[in-house]
A and B are shown apart, each in its own frame.
Chain A
Amino acid sequence: MASSEVLLDATQIAGTLDRLVSEIRASLPDGVPVGVIGIRSRGEILAARLVAGLRKLGVQDIETGVLDITLYRDDLAELGPKARVRATEIDFDITGRYVILVDDVLYTGRSARSALDALVDLGRPKAIRLVVLVDRPGRELPIQADLVGVRVSVPDVPVTVHLTESDGVDEVLIG
């Protein structure tokens, strides 16, 4: 970790999330209820912040939930007993909703794939959009984000997201 650099500090994360909130706001179709769903665990925190921002902008019919993708992972067998199953907490019907799927980092695309499979088992949303804080190269599946906070261009460099709620500090580290 000695060689890692700060890609985004707390102020920059706040600014990035503000920008994402207005971009999401602008993308919302009229009259369609919204569901913001975070992928456990840091996607959950980001989803909560985005929802707070969207409510401030006056978005009315908006629900929020948490998706646990463990049971849908394609590396469950390799993961073995290290797999931790936690509850998916989505207390609303996603059918017909405009679903914003939120994660901290988009890398191989496998988490997003698992999340899409998990979501379609819960209902039939009007549409699903993927929003991530960091987009890092290394995709193994044909999956792209619709809205991106920050794009990393260098391949094979690890990205670490820390958020106050889970890690005591807001920062994105690279390297």
Chain B
Amino acid sequence: MKKTTAQNEPPLPSGASQAKATPAAQASSARKEKEFVWKRRHLLGLEDLSAEELWHILNTAKGFQPVSTRSIKKVPALRGRVVVNLFFEDSTRTRTSFTLAAQRLSADVLEFNASRSSVSKGESLRDTVRNIEAMGVDTFVIRHSAAGAPHYITRCTDRHVVNAGDGQHEHPTQGLIDIFTILERKGRIEGLNVVIVGDIAHSRVARSNLWGLTKLGANVTFVGPTTLVPKSFEQLGAKVSHNLDAVLKDADVINMLRVQRERIASQVFPSTQEYVRLFGLTRERLAKAKPDVLIMHPGPINRGVELASEVADGPNSSILRQVSNGLAIRMAVLFLLNQVP
């Protein structure tokens, strides 16, 4: 097998949408880059990852992007491997995205629905995992309402574990998708002002975004009602604001989180009308932001609540692009973890 130096990691700030560098420039910077080797067997959160590891996933995902646009949307990389979707919480898009990503890598996928299974008969999480493991599964993709459930599973099995959302803790693949989409549209992460709006206190997406984005040099501002955006987030490296209009004009990216309807009725949440007036992204509000501001949303959208329809479907929106990029990110994650014995 021939050896090539150009297979080294490209320079870290290589933006997904940057103009293609000349082969000479690529190779010379690749030579400068020290050989990075991915070592993790699990993806539990972005908090533990180094900037180098984040870049490695983003660069790998870029390699997987073309697979989804060609006629045969499949590569043989994980042929013979088995991925199980172990979802203890309802999810349509994340589960579908992981399933499709695994299938495009030629892995076999097992769908495990907690509500229709042994869990409803009282089986413990540990026993569920051990039983599935005994069938010869290689990777567990887990969503659970309890923070730390994926970490617990790594102690029950020696197989790969991917956190697909655990309580209010982390949703690392969604964080990576958002960062990848920003990189694709803006060409960089460092120095960008990213405003994340909504129920930050209960959001695992906000936390994963914060860890990932700050490590890559972005400035993250959390915005929402005082009850949902506590000052304590400043200790984690975010700026906190309760006034969307005040931070709007400097924003390069605005990530609107979904208003969880079950919380609207609760004490911590203002009325829907009041929320829309203060924190809803309307066309009028968008007009005050930078013309090229990027509008994101992890979905599903409450149209007319956090996001006006014309903004969600407008030219600044990257919402459907986030969904497409989800496949590339999840293919990259499943591939990288499975490459580590």
List the interface of chain A (C-beta within 8 A of B).
40-42, 44-45, 48, 68, 70-72, 75-76, 79-90, 104-105, 107-108, 110-111, 117, 121-123, 164-168
CA of A82 to CA of B315, assembled, Å: 39
Cα–Cα distance between A82 and B4 once the two chains are bound (Å): 12
Please list 9 pairs of residues, one from A and one from B, whose beta carbons are closer than 8 Å in the complex, sorted by A's number.
Answer: A42-B6, A80-B339, A81-B336, A85-B332, A86-B59, A108-B1, A121-B70, A121-B75, A165-B22
Q: Kindly report which residue of chain A lies nearest to residue B340, judged by CB atoms.
A: A81
Contact with A along B28-61 (1 / 0, CB 8 A): 1000000001110000000000000000000110
Within 8 A of A (CB), among B41-93: 59-60, 62-66, 70-72, 74-77
* Minimum CB distance partner of A70 in chain B: B63
- A85-B64, A87-B63, A110-B1 given as contacts; is B71 within 8 A of A164 (CB)? no
Among B1-34, those with CB < 8 Å from A are 1-2, 4-9, 22-24, 26-28
Interface residues in chain B, defined as those with a beta carbon under 8 Å from any beta carbon in chain A:
1-2, 4-9, 22-24, 26-28, 37-39, 59-60, 62-66, 70-72, 74-77, 332, 335-336, 339-341
Query: With the chains together, A165 CA to B2 CA distance in Å?
Result: 18
B26 CB, min distance to chain A CBs, angstroms: 8
User: Shortest distance in angstroms between A76's beta carbon and chain B's nearest beta carbon?
Assistant: 6
9 closest A-B pairs by beta carbon, nearest first, are A85-B63, A166-B27, A41-B6, A165-B23, A71-B75, A71-B77, A121-B72, A81-B38, A84-B7
Which residues from B are CB-within-8-Å of A75? 1
**Which of A76, A80, A81, A90 is in CB contact (< 8 Å) with B77?**
A76
B2 touches which of A45, A105, A168 (Cβ 8 Å): A105
CB distance from B301 to the nearest CB of A (A): 30
CB-based contact B2/A83 at 8 Å: no
Of A41, A117, A123, A165, the residue contacting B4 (CB under 8 A) is: A41
Chain A, Cβ-Cβ closest to B331: A85
For the A-B complex, the count of residue pairs with Cβ-Cβ distances under 8 Å equals: 87
Q: Which residues of chain B have C-beta atoms less than 8 A from A107's C-beta?
A: 1-2
B37 and A81 form a contact (CB under 8 A): yes
A88, B341: Cα distance in complex, Å: 26
Residue of B nearest to A103 (CB): B2
Beyond the given A41-B6, A85-B64, A122-B70, could you list 9 further A-B residue pairs with CB under 8 A, ordered by the A residue number? Answer: A42-B4, A84-B60, A85-B335, A86-B59, A121-B75, A123-B71, A165-B27, A166-B6, A167-B5
Identify the interface centre among B1, B9, B340: most chain A CB within 10 Å of its CB: B1
User: Cα distance A79–B39 when bound, in Å?
Assistant: 13
Nearest chain-A residue to B105 (Cβ)?
A71
Asked if A85 meets B60 with Cβ closer than 8 Å, knowing A121-B72, A122-B71, the reply is yes
The answer for the CA separation of A165 and B28 in the assembled complex, in Å, is: 9
In the assembled complex, how far is the CB of residue A77 from the closest CB belonging to chain B, in whole angstroms? 8
A83 to B7, CA, bound (A): 9
The residues of A that contact B75 with a CB separation of less than 8 Å are 71-72, 121
Residue on B nearest A110 in the bound complex, by CB: B1
Given contacts A85-B332, A110-B1, contact A122 B64 (CB under 8 A): no
Interface contact B66-A89, CB-CB below 8 Å: yes
Nearest CB of chain B from residue A2's CB, rounded to whole Å: 18
| B38:A117 contact, CB within 8 angstroms | no
A76 to B335 Cα, complex, angstroms: 11
Distance, CA A122 to CA B8, complexed state (A): 26
Q: Are B27 and A167 in contact (CB under 8 A)?
A: yes
State which of A45, A88, A104 has its C-beta within 8 Å of the C-beta of B23: A45
A40, B339: Cα distance in complex, Å:
21
Known contacts A68-B63, A117-B76, A121-B75: does B4 contact A83 (CB below 8 Å)? no
**Bound-state Cα–Cα, A45 to B4, Å:** 13
Q: Which residue of A lies closest to B76 (CB)?
A: A72
Q: How far is the CB of B52 from chain A (nearest CB, A)?
A: 13
Residue of B nearest to A90 (CB): B66
Cα A44 to Cα B26 with chains together (Å): 13
Residues of A within 8 Å of B339, CB to CB, are 76, 79-81, 83
Q: How far is the CA of A105 from the CA of B70 in the complex (A)?
A: 28
Of all chain B residues, the one with the shortest Cβ separation from A82 is B37
A141 to chain B, nearest CB (A): 13
Residues in A neighbouring B27, C-beta threshold 8 A: 41, 165-167
Residue of B nearest to A107 (CB): B2
In the complex, the answer to whether B65 meets A165 with C-beta atoms within 8 Å is no
Quick check: A121 and B2 within 8 Å, CB to CB? no
Chain A, residue nearest B63 (CB): A85
- Least CB distance from A125 to B in Å reads 13
Contacts A41-B6, A88-B66: A81 and B24 contacting too (C-beta < 8 A)? no
